[in-house]
Amino acid sequence: METVSELGFWQRMVTTRGLIILFFTSAGCHSCRIWRHLLADYEATRDDLQVWEVDAGIDMGITQEFDVYHLPALFLFRDGRYQRPIQVEARAHALDRWLTEMADRPPEEMP
């Protein structure tokens, strides 16, 4: 899992291939800690997936751009393009099933 900031975010995003889970978090968020462990373990099992973590308390510009009002918030990108928000329970098998179901769906509009 890599921590990213809003500086150069979009330039990097458009050049990155594969799946990216953009994970908005905060230091005091208990649910975020659960998701952080789950995503780190899950990322290690997939060659086609990266997890990018954004601290919502520090990088408020990009947090507002994604209309993040509650944490954790997760969004899926594929080949640098926004796909959709991730709304699934914090379990690896549920995330894996969700990603499989969403794999061939067309992208949605950004929030």
C-alpha span between 20 and 51 (Å, rounded)? 6
Q: Please say if the pLDDT value at position 103 is more than 80.
A: no
Quick check: helix, strand or coil at residue 47?
coil
Contacts (Cβ under 8 Å, ≥6 apart) of 13: 20, 77, 80
As given in the structure block, the two tokens for residue 13 are 């995003």
pLDDT in tens, 35-48: 999 999 999 999 99
Strand order in the sheet with 49-55: 2-3, 49-55, 19-25, 73-78, 81-86
What is the band of 66 on the pLDDT scale with cuts at 50, 70, 90? very high
